[in-house]
């Protein structure tokens, strides 16, 4: 592989040719710094009481028991699928509500569809919401609504709205300016522009981002089942690992979550590929 070169003009007008672009050098230095920090982190670990001679065989045995001998011992298969359904319901509810609210907020956040001060205000608020982890939002709502599915849905809904507002608004801003200007020249109002120009041009992208957020919310709902007592398969995983100490059941639940995540990915990909080919490419 040949080293890349870039051309730079000096102050006196001469052309200087050097190997390696500045961006490549920055990436190389960043990787080197991260590698050095990783090594330092291992050096500063507290290894007191760690016996590798015992820890490694025990870890291998636990992993073998978990993933090679999975079994359900504290609930039936019917109950297991019911709990998975609860987790899917939490993810679906937070995604659908979040997408609906995010659509209207994204129209206000898009710079080509809204005034500058409105767009900046919405972007600042959703940036703050996105900066706070979903788990923390769930715990905040748990204080007000109590532990349970309500707090989990509200927390995931809050973060889903902020996530989708950014994605939707960026899709709206990619709409051809010429189309918007042409509609305005014919006397079309703001809502007509949204219905006849923005939605037809961006619908496949909105669908794609919504599918992606649903897959994310399914994973989050598993964690919230344990963290917020929202129920579902995540709560059963917490009970099997932290209460029953049943590694075989932990392994079985992990396999179930993995299988359902793969099935969701396959379904969303086929739906987008069949009905919305443009979205399948994203």
Give the tens place of pLDDT for each residue, 205-219. 888 889 889 988 998
Predicted pLDDT at 279: 47
In the chain, what is the greatest distance between 2 CA atoms, to the nearest angstrom? 80
Predicted pLDDT at 277: 56
Question: What is the Cα–Cα distance from 164 to 71, expressed in whole angstroms?
Answer: 38
Q: Assess whether pLDDT exceeds 80 at residue 232.
A: yes
Share of the chain above pLDDT 90, in %: 23
What CATH number did the domain enclosing 154 receive?
1.10.3720.10
Residue 185 is assigned to a structural domain of this protein: yes
Predicted pLDDT at 34: 93
Q: Assess whether pLDDT exceeds 50 at residue 1.
A: no
Predicted pLDDT at 192: 86
| pTM for this predicted structure | 0.76
> Are 169 and 115 within one domain?
yes
Residue 53 is assigned to a structural domain of this protein: no
Predicted pLDDT at 17: 56
> Are 135 and 230 within one domain?
yes
Residue 57 is assigned to a structural domain of this protein: no
**What number is the average pLDDT over the span 96-115?**
91
pLDDT band of residue 182 (cuts 50, 70, 90) is confident
> Are 77 and 30 within one domain?
no
Residue 101 is assigned to a structural domain of this protein: yes
Question: What is the Cα–Cα distance from 190 to 208, expressed in whole angstroms?
Answer: 25
Predicted pLDDT at 122: 92
**What number is the average pLDDT over the span 100-109?**
93
Residue 54 is assigned to a structural domain of this protein: no
**What number is the average pLDDT over the span 185-204?**
85
How many CA atoms, within 13 angstroms, populate the side-chain half-sphere of residue 93?
Answer: 15
Q: Assess whether pLDDT exceeds 80 at residue 5.
A: no
Residue 118 is assigned to a structural domain of this protein: yes
> Are 24 and 113 within one domain?
no
> Are 253 and 142 within one domain?
yes
Predicted pLDDT at 203: 85
Q: Which of 94-108, 154-168, 177-191, 253-267 has the lowest mean pLDDT?
A: 177-191
Distance between terminal CA atoms of the chain? Answer: 30
Predicted pLDDT at 212: 87
> Are 226 and 265 within one domain?
yes
> Are 41 and 162 within one domain?
no
> Are 84 and 37 within one domain?
no
Predicted pLDDT at 188: 80
Predicted pLDDT at 160: 93
> Are 107 and 222 within one domain?
yes
Mean pLDDT across the chain = 83
> Are 191 and 87 within one domain?
yes
Residue 51 is assigned to a structural domain of this protein: no
Total domains in the fold of the chain = 2
Question: What is the Cα–Cα distance from 183 to 197, expressed in whole angstroms?
Answer: 8
> Are 130 and 251 within one domain?
yes
pLDDT band of residue 37 (cuts 50, 70, 90) is very high
- Sort 270 into a burial class: Cβ within 10 Å, 0-12 / 13-18 / 19+: exposed
> Are 144 and 18 within one domain?
no
| Residue 9: domain span | 1-45
Question: What is the Cα–Cα distance from 34 to 41, expressed in whole angstroms?
Answer: 10
pLDDT band of residue 20 (cuts 50, 70, 90) is low
pLDDT digits (tens, 9 = 90+) for 249-277: 999 999 998 998 888 888 877 776 765 55
Residue 35 is assigned to a structural domain of this protein: yes
pLDDT band of residue 19 (cuts 50, 70, 90) is low
Closest CA to 229 of 147, 154, 134: 147
């Amino acid at each position: 592989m040949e080293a890349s070169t870039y051309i730079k003009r000096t102050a006196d007008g001469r052309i200087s040719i050097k190997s390696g672009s500045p961006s490549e050098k920055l990436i190389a230095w960043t990787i080197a710094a991260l590698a050095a920090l990783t090594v330092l982190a291992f050096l500063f670990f507290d290894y007191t009481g760690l016996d590798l001679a015992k820890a490694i065989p025990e870890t291998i045995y636990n992993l073998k028991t978990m993933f090679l001998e999975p079994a359900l011992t504290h609930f039936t298969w019917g109950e297991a699928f019911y709990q998975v359904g609860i987790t899917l319901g939490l993810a679906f509810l937070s995604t659908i509500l979040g997408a609906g609210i995010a659509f209207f907020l994204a129209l206000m956040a898009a710079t080509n569809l809204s005034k500058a001060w409105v767009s900046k205000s919405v972007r600042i608020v959703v940036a703050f919401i996105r900066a706070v982890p979903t788990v923390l939002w769930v715990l905040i709502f748990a204080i007000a609504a109590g532990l349970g599915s309500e707090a989990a849905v509200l927390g995931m809904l809050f973060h889903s709205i902020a996530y989708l507002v950014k994605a939707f608004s960026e899709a709206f801003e990619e709409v051809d300016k010429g189309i918007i200007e042409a509609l305005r020249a014919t006397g079309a109002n703001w809502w007509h522009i949204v219905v006849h120009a923005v939605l037809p041009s961006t619908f496949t992208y909105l669908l794609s981002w919504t599918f992606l957020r649903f897959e994310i919310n399914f994973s989050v709902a598993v964690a919230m089942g344990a963290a917020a007592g929202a129920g579902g398969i995540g709560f059963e995983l917490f009970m099997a690992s932290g209460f029953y100490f049943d590694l075989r059941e932990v392994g079985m639940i992990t396999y179930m979550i993995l299988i359902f995540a793969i099935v969701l990915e396959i379904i969303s990909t086929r739906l987008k590929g069949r009905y919305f080919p443009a979205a399948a490419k994203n």
